[in-house]
Amino acid sequence: MAVNCGVSFGLCAMRVTVLDALGNVVGSADNSYVSDKAVTINVSPNIETGNAFSRRNGCGCSLARFKSNDIFNWWEFAFEDGALEPAMVALMLGLETIVDGADTVGVAFASALDCSDDPPAVALEFWTQHITGSGLDAIHPYVHWVFPYTSWAFGDNTAEEDFMANALTGFSRTNEMWGQGPYGDGPPDGQDIRDGGYWKTDVAPPAADCVTATIAAGS
């Protein structure tokens, strides 16, 4: 059966993994989280527009024109969660949790970082469905998206007579330490994804459990 060129649809699950400033997986307990509550993840390229040059003669006629190349800088994200998941937010923003017995029920907001402080970082992964015709593709039913180093901050959130958006914003960086990732579900050909990537896959998204998990340090 030939590989199909299907369409990415939906947002099935997302996973964050805590990193240190160099991009290594932090080798501590409770350093991973899988969510199936995400509503949207907007991914936008930050592009630095190349300079444009034009030379005209004395009559205003064009002699030469040239535009230098646009430069891709990084990816920018806008994330909206459909539920309050304080354990995941704490990992993404580097916050202390508020607990009630064994349950994580909230987060404590942080002060501004000092200039010498490293901002919190996580690897971001999410899975979409791979649709051909009117159903899941038989060979590769999912698409696995990876951004191996991201930093996040609170977005705009409004309390009103409606559901709160639970919004975060973020941006990406290169992560030379991610390799294949620590979960054993990286690119099937071992491709270098230090700047991120996606691939069609028959590996199902990980199960969400509304609690943190632990993944061994290293890539």
pLDDT, tens only, 23-47: 999 987 899 999 999 999 999 999 9
Is there a contact between 76 and 123 (Cβ–Cβ < 8 Å)? no
Name the more confident of 86 and 113: 86
pLDDT at 2 over 90: no
In sequence order, which ranges of the chain are alpha helices (DSSP H)? 86-93
The DSSP bridge pattern shows strands 135-136 and 121-132 to be antiparallel
| Mean pLDDT, range 49-53, rounded to an integer | 97
d(CA 1, CA 89): 42
d(CA 204, CA 74): 28
Torsion of CA 116, 117, 123, 126, to 10 degrees: -120
Q: pLDDT digit string (tens) for 99-113? A: 999 999 999 998 876
pLDDT at 84 over 70: yes
DSSP codes joined into one string, 92-136 = HHTPEEEEETTEEEEEEPPPPPPTTSPPPEEEEEEEEEEEETTEE
- pLDDT-above-90 percentage for the chain: 88
| Mean pLDDT, range 80-98, rounded to an integer | 96
What number of other Cβ atoms are within 10 A of residue 43's Cβ?
15
Beta bridge mates, 187: none
Q: pLDDT digit string (tens) for 200-218? A: 999 999 999 889 999 987 5
Residue 218: per-residue pLDDT: 55
- Per the confidence metrics, is the pTM higher than 0.85? yes
